[in-house]
Amino acid sequence: MSPTGDAPQAQVSLLLDEMHAPGVAAALRDRGHDVIAVAENPELRALTDEELLLYAAGKARRIVTENVKDFRRLLLRSEESGQPTAGVLFTSSRTFPRLRRNPGPLIDALHAWLMAPDVGERPVEDWLIGARSS
């Protein structure tokens, strides 16, 4: 239990795929999250998508990617074979344009997703949605 008497929140670790800037990972780490970016690590940049999924599964990290076509296929293959797999959090460049000068909306949305009470119970395949305007 936390000091407030609430059950402790599950911690989810993320692995940002190559299309996401290392600055996004750094900003999320500054907010207390366990996040690494493929673009920060030459060894990870050399991996295929399949190898990256296996790496993430072995490290208990959820991959954040826009690559729906390849990762959805890999998730289905893992499910059919009974092979361990990592969760995947899909993003969209339409919802979160890759603007290095303003990654704030993506950072804020990932932070909100990581802080959600049900973060540890999210489905293996999930979608990041933008902030809702009121």
Q: Average per-residue pLDDT in the chain?
A: 88
Q: Token pair 């599950």 is at which residue?
A: 10
Confidence of residue 131 (pLDDT cuts 50, 70, 90): low
- Helix H or strand E segment including 116: none
**28 within domain boundaries:** yes
**In total, how many domains does the chain have?**
1
Residue 4 is predicted with a pLDDT of 39
**Residue 2 to residues 5, 7, 120: CA-CA distances in angstroms?**
5, 6, 17
Reported confidence tier of residue 83, pLDDT bands at 50, 70, 90? confident
- What is the average pLDDT across 5-33? 86
> Would residue 8 count as lying in a domain?
no
Question: Is residue 7 one of the residues assigned to a domain?
Answer: no
Q: Is the pLDDT of residue 94 over 70?
A: yes
pLDDT digit string, tens, across residues 27-78: 999 999 999 999 999 999 999 999 999 999 999 999 999 999 999 999 999 9
Tokens at 131, concatenated: 């902030």
Instruction: Give Cα 14 distance to the centre of its chain.
Output: 4
**85, 110 in Cβ contact below 8 A?**
no
For residue 132, being part of any structural domain is answered with no
The parent domain of residue 44 ranges over 13-124
Q: Within a domain: residue 34?
A: yes
Residue 129 covered by a domain: no
**Concatenated DSSP letters for 53-114?**
HHHHHHTTEEEEES-HHHHHHHHHHHHHHT-----EEE--TTTS---TT--HHHHHHHHHHH
